[in-house]
Structures are given as structure tokens and as C-alpha cells.
Amino acid sequence: MEDTAASAQGDNDRCTFRISSNHPAPARAMTFTTLLFDLADGIARITVNRPDKLNALNATVIRELGEAVGRVERENEIRGVILTGAGTKAFVAGADIAEIAGQGPIDGKARALEGQAVFRRLERCGKPVVAAVNGFALGGGCELAMACHLRVAAEQARFGQPEVKLGIGPGYGGTVRLPRLVGKGRALELLLTGRMIDAQEAYRIGLANLVVPGEKLLAESETLLRSILENGPLAVRACLEAVDAGLEMSLDQALLLEANHFGLLSGTADMREGTRAFLEKRRAEFKGV
Ligand code: COA
């Protein structure tokens, strides 16, 4: 996991209206054994890289995903993320069953809590995260995709929560995020039967935002992400925070949070620029301040 100082910095960075310093933290060289991390033109591409095990999430992948999210939080140069799996067969085929097989109640709970914390941190990193689902997204893989803000599915992608077939339940948020995304009835059907669904069905029930041919998956995911990154970054961040926090609030509290964001955004140079650009019939140049 991150050292304490880095975690504290991460908490600070999660604040939507943090005054951005013009001195981004120096990029720390990071080497991962189970992930690929590429940064180009503002987009970090994180690839879970255990194709021989269908990118199953073992303890090292979870730890390294936490470190990668820390980097996303810290580095101002990173404006958005695409998360995918290595190879064409799997996004992530779940938690590593070989590891789970030997666990007892205490380490089982600890494994769930650690994975949940990493996924939650990804969900709250303040920058848009798109899952490019290139194949099987099962169990922890479906849960990882659901912790991302949007999901683009390749035609060959398959989604499911098959944990009950193994005599266990979801541990990385499946029972929590799936009903929020697709509704209680559909979520329970998938959770209780362990049935796998194809990309079109995932799209139909609202689990996937888009279905694209496999060979276009990364390009289409990037196009979607870039269409978000063209917008005011503070406004995007506020939307992420308002939806994330607002879903857990009463209607009136959530509306107040939205109004507070609306007011705060009205004090930003980006809002002046965005409205002025509209009136002057030109493209806005947002600075994130
Ligand atoms: N954990 C650990 N290893 C896994 C894995 C997982 N979740 N999913 C796949 N693998 C491994 C297989 O054991 C196999 O390894 P091996 O070649 O060393 O024997 C390799 O990945 C390829 O998988 P395989 O099952 O041979 O591929 P397949 O095409 O026949 O089937 C799946 C693909 C996805 C249907 C099947 O692998 C599967 O059901 N995986 C488990 C899904 C699951 O239950 N996830 C929830 C876990 S809590």
C-alpha cells in the first residue's frame, strides 16, 4: 500500500475544489510486476497483465492497483484513465481462485476489505476512469469494471458474478454496485444464478455504456474519454463527486450538494472561460482553475 504521506496527499487530491499547484509532484518511477502503466497525452492506460491466468486478481495485482491509483491521484499530468486487461480473452476473470481456495474467515475478510478499499479509491480518484472491457469480466473483474465510471465493452466481452458457483459471495462490491447500476431485480438474478451475460445484454441493462468491435475497443474508449476531457476539469470532478456522494444522501441533501458545487464552480476561471467562449462562438480553453 501507499506510504502515509502519499495517502494523505491522495486524500487532499480528492477534494474537488483543491487549488491546483502549478508544481506537479515529480513523477516517481514505478515498476509493476502485474500491471502495465502507460501515460500518453494526459491519459494513463492501466493494463492488468496476467494473461496466462486470465488477469485474475491476486494479492499483488490488488496492491499494485492501489499504487497505480495513488499515481493517478497525485500526478496533475494524468487527466483520465483507461483500465483494461492484457490479451483478447479476459478483462479480469475474477479474484484469484487459487489464493481464495486456501483462505479462512479472517484473511477472507481482510482480502475483501483491501480490494474494496482499492476499488473505492479508484472510484473516488477525481478523474474519469473508463473500463475497456476486452473479454471476461467475472467476479472481481465485473466488480473492478463497475468501480470505473464508464464501461466500454468489446463485442466478445462477458460479464457476470459467478461467486455463488464457488460457494462464496462477491467480496469487492458486487452486491453493492451492481444493484445501483442495473436495479435490484436484475442484480439479484445475476448474483443468485451466477449467469454470464454477453456485451449486448450488459448494454441493454445499463451495465455497459457502449458496445464496440473488439479491434476498436481502445480507440473508442479513448474517444469517449477525450470527449470528457474536453470539458472543464473542475466541473467534471464535481459531477463525479456529486453523483458518488449524492446517491448516498437524501434528495434534499443531494440537491444542496449540487447547489454548493454550482456555486463553487461559479467562482472558477473555467466557468468564466466556458460561458465567454460560448457567447463568443469559440472553443473554450479550460485551465482547471
Ligand atoms: N483465478 C485463478 N485462475 C484463473 C481464474 C481465476 N479467477 N480464471 C481463470 N484462471 C486460470 C485457469 O485456472 C487457467 O489456468 P491454467 O492454464 O494454469 O490451468 C487459465 O486461467 C485459463 O483459464 P481456463 O479456465 O482454462 O479458460 P477457459 O477458456 O476454459 O474458461 C472462464 C474461461 C473465464 C470461463 C473460466 O476460466 C472461469 O470460469 N474462470 C473463473 C471465473 C470465476 O469464477 N471468477 C470469480 C472468482 S471469485
202: left (phi over 0), alpha (psi -120 to 50) or beta: alpha
Residue 2: active-site member:
no
From CA 200, how far away is CA 217, in angstroms rounded? 15
> Strand, helix or coil at 133?
strand
Q: How far is CA 275 from CA 227, 264, 283, in A?
A: 18, 15, 10
- The whole-number pLDDT of residue 281 equals 98
> Strand, helix or coil at 158?
strand
* Regions of the chain short of the pLDDT cut 70: 1-29
- The whole-number pLDDT of residue 30 equals 72
- Closest C-alpha to ligand 1, atom 34: 93
From CA 73, how far away is CA 71, in angstroms rounded? 5
Residues 6+ apart with CB under 8 A from 103: 111
- Closest C-alpha to ligand 1, atom 30: 54
Q: Which one of the listed residues 143, 220, 222, 241 is annotated catalytic?
A: 143
Question: What's the gap in Å between 172 CA and the centre of ligand 1?
Answer: 18
- The whole-number pLDDT of residue 31 equals 87
Q: Which one of the listed residues 64, 73, 163, 222 is annotated catalytic?
A: 163
Q: Is the CB of 222 under 6 A from ligand 1?
A: no
Rounded to 5 degrees, what angle do the CA atoms 214, 215, 219 make?
105
- The whole-number pLDDT of residue 16 equals 54
- The whole-number pLDDT of residue 11 equals 44
> Strand, helix or coil at 30?
coil
Q: Is the CB of 96 under 6 A from ligand 1?
A: yes
From CA 169, how far away is CA 139, in angstroms rounded? 9
Residue 73: active-site member:
no
Q: Is the CB of 143 under 6 A from ligand 1?
A: no
Q: Is the CB of 98 under 6 A from ligand 1?
A: yes
- Closest C-alpha to ligand 1, atom 15: 53
> What b/e string do you get for 31-45 counting C-beta neighbours within 10 Å, with b at 16 or more?
ebebbebebeeebbb
Cβ–Cβ under 8 Å, residues 241 and 126 = yes
